[in-house]
Amino acid sequence: MLNVLTLSSLFPDSTRPNFGIFVQRQTAALAMRPGVGVRVVAPIGLPVWPLARSDRFRAQAAMPLREVWRGLDVSRPRFTTLPGTGGRFHVPALIRALVPVLDRLRDERAFDVIDASFFFPDGPAAVALGRRYGVPVSIKARGADIHHWGHMPATRHQVARAAVAADGLLAVSDAMADDIAALGVPRGRVRVHHTGVDQARFQPIDRGEAKAGLGVSGPLILSLGALIPRKGHGVVIDAVARLPGVTLMIVGEGADRTALQARAERLGVADRVRLIGAIPHDELPGLLGAADVMALASASEGLANAWVESLACGTPIVITPAGGAGDVVTSRTAGRITQAEPEAFAVAIRDVLDQAPDPWAVRATVRDFTWPTNAAALHSHLAELVSRNGVGMRC
CA–CA separation, 201 and 190 (whole Å): 31
Q: Bigger pLDDT: 18 or 372? A: 372
Percent of the chain with pLDDT over 90: 88
b/e code 177-196 from CB counts within 10 Å (16+ = b): bebbbebebeeeebbbbbbb
Q: Dump pLDDT digits (tens) for 47-104.
A: 887 666 677 788 888 899 999 999 999 999 999 998 888 899 999 999 999 999 999 9
Residues 6+ apart with CB under 8 A from 240: 221, 246, 247, 248, 269, 272, 273, 346, 349
pLDDT of residue 212: 95
Q: pLDDT tier at 110 (50, 70, 90 boundaries)?
A: very high
pLDDT of 14 > 80? The answer is yes
Nearest alpha carbon to residue 307 among 226, 214, 209, 195 = 195
Range among 42-51, 142-151, 366-375 rated most confident: 366-375
pLDDT of residue 380: 98
Angle (deg, nearest 10), helices 371-388 and 21-31: 70
CA–CA separation, 374 and 299 (whole Å): 26
Q: Dump pLDDT digits (tens) for 281-314.
A: 999 999 999 999 999 999 989 999 999 999 999 9
CA–CA separation, 118 and 60 (whole Å): 20
> Is residue 317 within 8 Å of residue 310, measured between CB atoms?
yes
pLDDT of residue 145: 87
Residues 6+ apart with CB under 8 A from 13: 19, 42, 44, 60, 63, 69, 76
pLDDT of 260 > 50? The answer is yes
Nearest alpha carbon to residue 349 among 245, 253, 276, 277 = 245
Residue 48 is given by DSSP the state P
pLDDT of 391 > 60? The answer is no
CA–CA separation, 36 and 375 (whole Å): 11
Residue 382 is given by DSSP the state H
b/e code 68-95 from CB counts within 10 Å (16+ = b): ebeebbbbbbbbbbeeeeebebbbebbb
pLDDT of 389 > 90? The answer is no
Average pLDDT taken over every residue of the chain: 94
CA–CA separation, 49 and 60 (whole Å): 14
Q: pLDDT tier at 395 (50, 70, 90 boundaries)?
A: very low
pLDDT mean over 5-27: 94
pLDDT of residue 52: 64
> Is residue 162 within 8 Å of residue 139, measured between CB atoms?
yes
